[in-house]
Chain A
């Protein structure tokens, strides 16, 4: 219901802006966007590993996700463009199913995703971006509104950007600010819930199952007081044409996050507390506890080279650090190869590394006296290599039609991602780009 109201508000606001921005200028100017463009994107992602955060750093990280995405860019007049992006993510994962590992048909086990009701979920996102270009096309304003929702999380985002081109459009400066107001509907591990509501070991989970190991299971668990999370980001961009064949960009991002930054269903096991089990599943000592603020800084750079009519070289580098102790380097390279005037191949390679957050420790190594703790391997020290290969088909005349949509481009891309901690993932993306006649 809340999602529906926000969608209606988004549509009303965006349509209102479009009327307000009618330009009375009569001089000839090229339209910013000639025709409506429609993109259908389809993504399949699958991962597996043995360090699930939901089971305290051990257990299956199996996850599959199917993401259809629909993006429409429509010219409202010569100067204004409205972009609407709607995406759905349908996923099933061990991290959702093992929030309650005891509701399935088989014995609870961290290395088996539970087959119970919490196995899968949907994420929905709707984003609208309205942009206005000045008559000389050297200034661009844009406003953005987004909403997203999933079973335990709701987010509203608001943003704006300003871009200025000068030096005969050889130089571009941009500033972009975004605010996300997010709210958790916190879901806690099944075995911890009775210790906040006072039922304790008289909860049916414990009366219907046998606790092995320490039978006097009694975690010191309290739910989080606040379920809000706010993120504020500021991005600066500088891009420059260097010569007829080279252009580059520098990017700088600052992000401040406040509120509930812990994930409420991620378990932690302490080394100084005796272990308790139901079936093969170790009962949580607590959920992860992380500071309620985080400050992130990222510097990035892109440099693209038009080598000749066949080869283009695209490079990217980013350095990141935050006040949780994470430092990271990312580098990627892509070599588009035009094998004909319609087909291009895209071999890619990406390297990523990061140091561990100050609050990370593996399974069963935190102490119950620690203030902050997590066993989420996404915050551990690791490096990752990603190899990819893509192919695209382009028809600049858009001869093939479906209804009034002329096919402009088809993209197909595959990536394989491997961490040195064992997590591996495969990603397949398929995209169709159309122009509306």
Chain B
């Protein structure tokens, strides 16, 4: 818990850094830099949420289901 709070504070502090301009975002716009899961990982994430007790904080459930098989 303590570690998470430290990470939150560090990342909050980073918002005060100089903003990166649109024309400087060429590397950040690389498809592999997206901050969400790839489409190809969709089913893999579903199986993980079925087989594991933990879920969430990774983009959310996309559809309902008991996950009981």
Chain A interface residues toward B at CB < 8 A: 39, 41, 43, 45, 47, 63, 65, 67, 69, 71, 85, 87, 91, 93, 95-96, 121, 123, 125, 127, 146-148, 150, 152-153, 155-157, 167-171, 176, 178, 180, 182, 184, 229, 233, 235, 238-245, 247-253, 255, 263, 265-266, 296, 298-302, 304, 306, 312, 314, 316, 318-320, 322, 324, 326, 328, 330, 336, 344, 352, 354, 357, 378-379, 384, 390, 392, 394, 411, 413, 415, 417, 423, 425, 427, 429, 431, 433
Q: Are B55 and A296 in contact (CB under 8 A)?
A: yes
Query: Which A residues are CB-close (under 8 A) to B31?
Result: 394
User: Which residue of the partner chain, among B34, B39, B57, contacts A318 with CB atoms under 8 Å?
Assistant: B57
Q: Are B28 and A41 in contact (CB under 8 A)?
A: no
Query: Which A residues are CB-close (under 8 A) to B42?
Result: 41, 43, 69, 429
Q: A425 vs B69: C-alpha distance in the bound complex, in angstroms?
A: 14
Q: Which of B48, B50, B68 has the most CB of A within 10 A?
A: B68
User: Which residue of the partner chain, among B7, B64, B69, contacts A91 with CB atoms under 8 Å?
Assistant: B69
Instruction: Tell me the interface secondary structure of chain A in the complex.
Output: strand
Q: A301 vs B10: C-alpha distance in the bound complex, in angstroms?
A: 12
User: Which residue of the partner chain, among A241, A336, A415, A423, contacts B28 with CB atoms under 8 Å?
Assistant: A241
Query: What's the least CB distance linking A122 to chain B, in Å?
Result: 11
Q: A41 vs B53: C-alpha distance in the bound complex, in angstroms?
A: 26
Q: Are A326 and B30 in contact (CB under 8 A)?
A: no
Q: Are B57 and A247 in contact (CB under 8 A)?
A: no
User: Which residue of the partner chain, among B1, B14, B50, contacts A240 with CB atoms under 8 Å?
Assistant: B14
Q: Are A45 and B47 in contact (CB under 8 A)?
A: yes
Taking CB as reference atom, which chain A residue is nearest B33? A304
Q: Are A253 and B60 in contact (CB under 8 A)?
A: yes
Query: What's the least CB distance linking B27 to chain A, in Å?
Result: 4
16 contacting pairs across A/B (C-beta < 8 A)? A41-B43, A43-B42, A67-B43, A121-B69, A150-B66, A153-B68, A240-B15, A242-B14, A244-B27, A253-B56, A300-B56, A312-B30, A318-B57, A352-B48, A352-B52, A431-B40
Number of B residues with CB within 8 Å of any CB on chain A: 49
Q: Given contacts A71-B39, A170-B19, A255-B56, are A148 and B44 in contact (CB under 8 A)?
A: no
Q: Are A250 and B28 in contact (CB under 8 A)?
A: no
User: Which residue of the partner chain, among A39, A235, A263, A265, contacts B39 with CB atoms under 8 Å?
Assistant: A39
User: Which residue of the partner chain, among A125, A299, A344, contacts B65 with CB atoms under 8 Å?
Assistant: A125
Query: Which A residues are CB-close (under 8 A) to B22?
Result: 168-169
Q: Given contacts A43-B43, A235-B60, A431-B39, are A241 and B20 in contact (CB under 8 A)?
A: yes
User: Which residue of the partner chain, among A65, A250, A298, contacts B54 with CB atoms under 8 Å?
Assistant: A298
Which 7 pairs from chain A and chain B are nearest by CB?
Answer: A155-B64, A300-B57, A253-B56, A298-B56, A43-B43, A320-B54, A328-B54
Query: Which A residues are CB-close (under 8 A) to B35?
Result: 239, 247-249, 302, 304
Q: Are A45 and B43 in contact (CB under 8 A)?
A: yes
Q: Given contacts A238-B11, A320-B57, are A127 and B52 in contact (CB under 8 A)?
A: no
Q: Are A306 and B15 in contact (CB under 8 A)?
A: no
Q: Are B28 and A182 in contact (CB under 8 A)?
A: no
User: Which residue of the partner chain, among B61, B63, B68, contacts A263 with CB atoms under 8 Å?
Assistant: B68
Q: Are B32 and A314 in contact (CB under 8 A)?
A: yes
Given A318-B56, A429-B41, 6 other A-B contacts at CB below 8 A? A41-B40, A168-B19, A235-B60, A240-B14, A319-B4, A328-B53
